[in-house]
Structure 1
Amino acid sequence: MRIAREFLRRPTAVFGLIVVLLVVIGALAAPLIAPYAPDEQLFDGLTLEGAPIGPDAAFLLGTDTLGRDLLTRLLFGARTSLIIGVVANGTAVAIGLGVGMLAGYLRGPAGNALMRFTDLMMAFPALLLAIVLAALFHPSLWIVAMVIAMVNWVQVARIVYTETRGLVERDFILAERSLGAGHGRIVFRHVLPHLMPTAIVWGTLGIATTVLLEATLSFLGVGVQPPEPSWGNIIFESQSFFTSAPWLVIFPGIAILLTALSFNLVGDALRDILDPTQRGRM
């Protein structure tokens, strides 16, 4: 209840949550509310010269160069972005949480080895590494999700490692050890619950980064492949028609911007609420 009350006091966070809920509802209900099939090519969506139709009563956001309804493709593209965002970011948070917690708890040679590997992964530019990994495999929705997870877990691991190092020196952990508690009890009963607020915050903030990275990979042609709709590949397919049909780029760009911004607003609010050091500064 306290978290909900503090969250509702932040207008920007409420705005972000409303947008996120609208995107989620639109993605889940896409087959029910989309006026057409995502790959349906409509003769009414093209002019006699073969140019796409702009926004009108029949096509609220216009059509693309193949006569497909843009609103429909944006709704189904939201499903792609959210699936990749949740799966990729959830996997990244789980890997980062496990690696960081083990390294911080074990310390010594094992912990140092895990963190040196993390540092090695952080040395590679995330976008460049994602492009290389995506190019090595046949791009698909699930391959793209795993590629993004493989490049995004390192930040979580570094944060969790630092927090775990501080936790294992706390008096209640030392008391548990003196009472003979095993490693499993200490980790799962005491260390992990203290790390969950960090995991929740990074899980929310990371979705925004994941959506942007997926759109970037799809725009570069190594992400989700057509005809499966993705906000990134919608822009990629339409970039050369920006001057004659700007709605093909503007509307998916707005969708990416609002979704990423909204997840960031929600994540920032959760960080302020769940982090006791941030609460002291409010």
Structure 2
Amino acid sequence: MGIFRSLLRQPTAVFGLVVVIVVVALALAAPLIAPFSPDEQMFDGLTLEGAPMPPGGPFLLGTDTLGRDLLSRMLFGARTSLIIGLVANGVAVAIGLFIGIVAGYLRGLAGNILMRFTDLMMAFPALLLAIVLAALLKPSLWIVAMVIALVNWVQVARIVYTETRGLVERDFIMAERSLGAGHGRILFLHILPHLVPTAIVWGTLGIATTVLLEATLSFLGIGVQPPEPSWGNIIFESQSYFQAAPWLVFFPGLVILLTALAFNLVGDALRDILDPTQRGRG
């Protein structure tokens, strides 16, 4: 509750929190509030010339190139994008925590091998590596989530490694070792709790990155495959109509921007609250 109260004292964090809550609520309630099925091609969803219907009337945000309601597709697309963001980032944080803790605690040859592997992964551009992996595998919701997780864990591992190296030299860890405490007790009862704030901060900040990366992969046509909607593939399907029907790109692009910004604002606020080295900095 103390963390929540601290968040409420920061206007930018409150804005981000409100946006996150609204987006999550709309995604969860999509089957109840969506005016149409996301895959339904309406007879009156296209003009006589076969162009998408503009916003207004029964179609609040207009229709897409196949006569499907854009609002309904964006609501269901929020579920897809958020699921990928949460799952991919959760797996990435778990992998980064594991490798960072093990490398920082063991040090020596094993630690060096793990961190050199981490450095090797960091040397590859994340987007390029994600494109290669997504192209090799058959794109689906869960495959895309795993691909994003496999390219996003390296930053967490590096941060956790550095913090773990500092923790293992602390007096209370030395005291536990002198009392005969095993590696499991030291790792899970004394080191891991100190890394929880770092995991929370990176977990929150990383959601914005994964949502953007999913949108990028879907925009390139190697993310979540139609007809399953996601914000990225809604833009991908409509890019050729950008000038004739700009709302098809503007509305999903706007929600991607707002969602990424909201998670970043909340993550930055949590970092200021949970990281003692950040407190007091203007």
After TM superposition, the score normalised by the length of structure 1 is 0.99
- Give the alignment's Cα RMSD to 1 decimal: 0.7
Residues in 2 aligned to 1:133 and 1:3: alpha-carbon distance in whole angstroms: 38
Structure 2 counterparts to residues 149-164 of structure 1, below 5 A: 149-164=149-164
Structure 2 residue 270 is matched with structure 1 residue 276: no
Deviation, structure 1 residue 4: 1.7
Structure 2 counterparts to residues 43-122 of structure 1, below 5 A: 43-122=43-122
Deviation, structure 1 residue 132: 0.2
**Secondary structure, counterpart of 1:15 in structure 2:** helix
Residues in 2 aligned to 1:237 and 1:61: alpha-carbon distance in whole angstroms: 16
Matched letter for residue 59 of structure 1: F
Does the C-alpha gap of structure 1 residues 149 and 271 become closer, same or farther in structure 2, counting only changes over 3 Å? same
Residues in 1 aligned to 2:281 and 2:16: alpha-carbon distance in whole angstroms: 22
Which residue of the partner structure matches residue 136 of structure 1?
Answer: 136
Structure 2 counterparts to residues 1-282 of structure 1, below 5 A: 1-281=1-281
Deviation, structure 1 residue 27: 0.7
Matched letter for residue 116 of structure 2: R
Residues in 2 aligned to 1:150 and 1:139: alpha-carbon distance in whole angstroms: 15
Matched letter for residue 98 of structure 1: F
Residues in 2 aligned to 1:20 and 1:119: alpha-carbon distance in whole angstroms: 33
After superposition, the C-alpha distances for 1:208-254 in whole angstroms (9 at most, x for unaligned) are: 00000000000001100000001111101111111110000000000
Residues in 1 aligned to 2:245 and 2:230: alpha-carbon distance in whole angstroms: 18
Gaps of at least 5 residues in structure 2 are: none
Deviation, structure 1 residue 280: 3.7
**Secondary structure, counterpart of 2:278 in structure 1:** helix
Deviation, structure 1 residue 57: 2.4
Residues in 2 aligned to 1:212 and 1:281: alpha-carbon distance in whole angstroms: 29
After superposition, the C-alpha distances for 1:189-214 in whole angstroms (9 at most, x for unaligned) are: 00000000000000000000000000
Matched letter for residue 152 of structure 2: N
Q: Which runs of 4+ in 1 moved over 4 A?
A: none
Deviation, structure 1 residue 3: 1.2
Deviation, structure 1 residue 164: 0.2
**Secondary structure, counterpart of 2:277 in structure 1:** helix
Residues in 2 aligned to 1:56 and 1:68: alpha-carbon distance in whole angstroms: 14
Residues in 2 aligned to 1:197 and 1:158: alpha-carbon distance in whole angstroms: 15
Residues in 1 aligned to 2:44 and 2:6: alpha-carbon distance in whole angstroms: 50
Residues in 2 aligned to 1:28 and 1:6: alpha-carbon distance in whole angstroms: 27
In the alignment of these two chains, the number of paired residues is: 282
**Secondary structure, counterpart of 2:153 in structure 1:** helix
How many percent identity over aligned positions? 84
Residues in 2 aligned to 1:280 and 1:191: alpha-carbon distance in whole angstroms: 25
After superposition, the C-alpha distances for 1:38-94 in whole angstroms (9 at most, x for unaligned) are: 100001111111111111121110000110000000000000100000100000000
Residues in 2 aligned to 1:137 and 1:281: alpha-carbon distance in whole angstroms: 45
Residues in 1 aligned to 2:128 and 2:37: alpha-carbon distance in whole angstroms: 34
Matched letter for residue 57 of structure 1: G
Matched letter for residue 171 of structure 2: D
Residues in 1 aligned to 2:26 and 2:116: alpha-carbon distance in whole angstroms: 42
Residues in 2 aligned to 1:43 and 1:162: alpha-carbon distance in whole angstroms: 59
Q: Bigger CA drift: 43-52 or 186-195?
A: 43-52
Residues in 1 aligned to 2:20 and 2:2: alpha-carbon distance in whole angstroms: 21
**Secondary structure, counterpart of 2:44 in structure 1:** helix
Deviation, structure 1 residue 281: 2.5
Residues in 1 aligned to 2:22 and 2:4: alpha-carbon distance in whole angstroms: 19
After TM superposition, the score normalised by the length of structure 2 is 0.99
Residues in 2 aligned to 1:2 and 1:137: alpha-carbon distance in whole angstroms: 44
**Secondary structure, counterpart of 1:57 in structure 2:** coil
Deviation, structure 1 residue 185: 0.4
